[in-house]
Structures are given as C-alpha cells and as structure tokens.
Structure 1
Amino acid sequence: MTIRKPREPLAAVINRHNLAARHSLGQHFLLDPGITDRIVELSAPLAGRHVVEVGPGPGGLTRALLDSDVASVVAVEVDSRAITLIEELVSEDPARLSLVQADATSLDLTTLCPAPRRIVANLPYNVATPLLIGWLRQAAQWERLTLMFQLEVAERICAEPGSDHFGRLGVISQWCAMCSPIMRLPPGAFSPPPKVWSTVVEITPHANQPSPELFRAMETVTAAAFGQRRKMLRGSLKRIGGERLLAAAGIDGSRRAETLHIEEFSRLAHCVLENSPSTRA
C-alpha cells in the first residue's frame, strides 16, 4: 500500500500562492476538509468512475476526490492564478489527475474522459445555470452530477410544480434527470463567505433522454410559458401556437405555467417539434 506524504494545509497553500477569491469569477473556496470529504462521500460510488471537476480553485475538493477510489479526475480551471496550485496536486498523482486550463462554458467535457463519467464540482456561481443547461443537453453521457449551487438556484432546480420556485430551470432539469438536494451549507463554510446559503444537488440523468431537437423544443416552450408567467397559457404561448398547441397537448389554456407537471410540458414540447417546419418537411 502506498503511503501518501501528508499534504500542506490548504490555507497555507493559498497564502503561499497569494490566491484570493475573485468576485468576478464567482469564486467562494471550500477549505474545510470535513466538508469536501463529505461531498465526495455523497458522490459515491466512485470506483471505476472518471470525474470532471469544474472550478477547482485551490484544490480542496480535488484533494478529497484524489483521496477516494475514483479512477481519474480532470480539473478544469479558467483562473490562471490557480493553475500552479492544481499542478502541485498533479505532480502528486499524475496517473489519476490531469489539468485543463479552459473556460468550461465553451468546452465539451465529454471529450475529457471516458465513460462512466461524472461531474463533481463546487461551481462558480455566476455561470452555474448555463453550465448545468449545457450538461443537461448531454445528459445521456453522464452517469451523475454532484454540484454545488447557491440555495436559490438549487431550489429552482428541485422545485415542485405549483411552488414559488418552479420555473424553466426546474422543468428542464427534472425532465432530464432526478434532482435531489443532499447537503446544505451556510455562508461561513466558504472563504470568502457568500451572502447566501449553498446546496449540493445530486442530478441523476434518466435512462431515456430527449433528442437535441426535442430539447430545443422544450427550451422554446418553457421560455414562452414562463416568460409571462402571470398570463394564462393561451396568452403566454400565443407566439408559438397558443390554442392549437394546447389543444394538441390536451391542456386547458386557462391554466398558468407553474401549475403544469413535467409530463405536460413534455407533451407540449413534442407538439412543438411535430409541428416545426423541418419535421413537417
């Protein structure tokens, strides 16, 4: 059995490199190994899995992943100031850890590692939602995503129909995956502390995933339905077919978007796709 050399405390590494979190990058570092270890425990099982971590920063969560039985980790970091810190971890375990310096919003993460793939990340909060939507478009390629969001975003992802938080993000997320909050953290768990609580959400893609065309149809439907959520559906969906679309999907036009269930939105998306010019052609 290999005996790992004790690591320098993360706070000392950050001080040595003079790495301060940047608000412009949505950075809030997790330094407590008890918390990062718990996130990795909640991500189990990891044996044989290849994990992508987005926004590792100083590498607190990266350390915890490497201490697990994960097959490999690819760290994707855009902040050039953090690269040296992650490179130090790469030098400890080059067989399992690799580093990609890139903007994850413009990167196809599925090209970075073989299946079975997972994402485990404390996401930069300013790009968390577009990142998630992009990954849901490829949900069939991921076994599971374990992601940290600010509490409000996590509530929107997991919201029930009829609730105040239910909207586009919840519909698309739950249409593609089972979404469950699994850990809640106060602002003081981070450095610097954000102004809000944070939540880790477990996102497990469904076995059957929509085609790219159907996914775009769902984006069209939810944008129209929730763009004017105070309106009845016959009004909010008017520009994409309104009454005709609702009749085809068997949905009462006097209802409002937040009252529909995921399956009803799915019917609407199928009707939009079936009536698109390319489909009719």
Structure 2
Amino acid sequence: MLLVSILTGFIVFGKAIHALSRIGDKLWLDPMGRGLALRTVNSAHSAYACFLFSPLFFQRYSLESVSEQGCKTVRCKLAMKSILPLFRCLASIERNVAQCQIAVSNTHSDRVVIQFFCRHGITKTHNLRFQDSEALQAVFSSHLCPNVLRCSARLAAPLKPLLTSGEEITLSTTRLRVSLRNYCEEGKGEPTLPTMCTEMSLHPDEFDHFQIGADSDVTFCLKELRVTGFIFGDSIHPDMVLEAIVVLATLTDSGSIRPSQPAETLNGSTPR
C-alpha cells in the first residue's frame, strides 16, 4: 500500500501528469523505496518519459513492504483520461486546496484514492480503479553512450526559440562544438523540400560536462521534449527533489557517424 500527502507541491505533481498526458494515454504509478515514479510511453513506443518524486518531495510518504502487505508490490496502470480531469484546472486547485493525499492499494478493491482537502473543511474524494500491471521501464544503458552532455538550466533560455518551432531537430556533436538545427517547409499545396530555419552552435565550455566519443548527427521529434519543458518553469523550487527522464527514438545516418578518437578506443562499436 502507498500513502502520500502533498502539502505545497501538488501543482508540480499535477503539471507532471499534464506533461505525460501529452505523450501517452496510460499512466503507470510505480511506488518504490526511492520515491514515486510516474511513467508513460507513446503508442509507437518511440517516446518514454518518467518523473520520479523523491520521498522528500512529499509531506508524508508511507510505503508498506511486501512482507507487511502480504502481497506483491503495488504497480498500477491508469487510463490517463481518468486521472487528468482531477488536475485539469491547476490555478483553481492552487487557490482552493490546502492538501492532496493519494492512497494506492491492491489488497481489496484495486483503487487509487485521491483526496483534496479544500479550504472551509471541504474534502473531495475520487476513487479510480486501476489495472495491475508490470512496471513500465525503458531499456537503455546511458553509461555505455559515447557522448554525454550535461548543462545547467541557464542554457535552456537561449535554446527556447529553437525548441519551440518546427517538428524535429537535428543534434550534431563533435569534439569542438555542438550544433542544433531545425527545419520548416515553405509553401502550401505541392510538396516542397524543407529549408533550414534556425541553427545554433554551442562551445564545449558552455556545458558542465562535455564528453564526445564519436561525432554524430541524430534527429528526433520535438513534441515530447516540449511537453516536459515545465520543469524549467517558475513552479519548480531548488529544494524540490524531482528527477525527469525522457527517452526518444532518433533517426541516424550511419554514414555521418565518425569516431572522434582513434578507432581502437571504441572497440569497433558503432554508437547508437
């Protein structure tokens, strides 16, 4: 059984659900010792997103062990359309709700119970039936990737115009620079070739961590990346313990991948 109480962070929690709803139509709730994970995947299985809320994020985080429950760990899958309306009007929730409590149990009714403790002593209770499911988890090995870029949130501001236009973006990496470019189509009616709209280059010194093991060019969809951009908003405070993971399928031209180091250091492997 899971029981969490959210005192001041339910707006961020609601925004996470809103962001995930733009990617997939199912929401996986995965309570763990290290926090509560909210996950989803799109219908094509080309985009996966997860928000992990640490126990420190909640006013109260109570997770009974398997031995205490006498049953398997709770992992549930909800229809996004059933939970999204509860967090539809976040501005109204912020004005009227003092606390949000979420309880999950599969011992009796397989329900997620969400309660909003509103001002003036009003309590709103919602019972959502869930489907018992294996935990959703994207399989990837980030520690095996030859290229690793890490930057602070300040770098997001100059990139915003580039990330808010177009449907796809191409990320090119070398040991000397990182460039991002997007494309748009001009004209209507007859198909036209895409023309380059915007390109931005970044120097390695602008990153907190810059590791390039192989020159590469990959193209990925911007839709899923945009909807998770709320993490840079004003609602996030430095003391909130929240981790976001987005995994996107990419298009890659194998002929454009060139080793940045001597070939023997890559052990003949082709980065993906």
What's the TM-score once normalised by structure 1's chain length? Answer: 0.31
Name whichever structure is richer in helix by fraction. Answer: 1
Name whichever structure is richer in strand by fraction. Answer: 2
Q: Which has the higher contact order (CA 8 A, sep 6+)?
A: 2
What's the TM-score once normalised by structure 2's chain length? Answer: 0.32
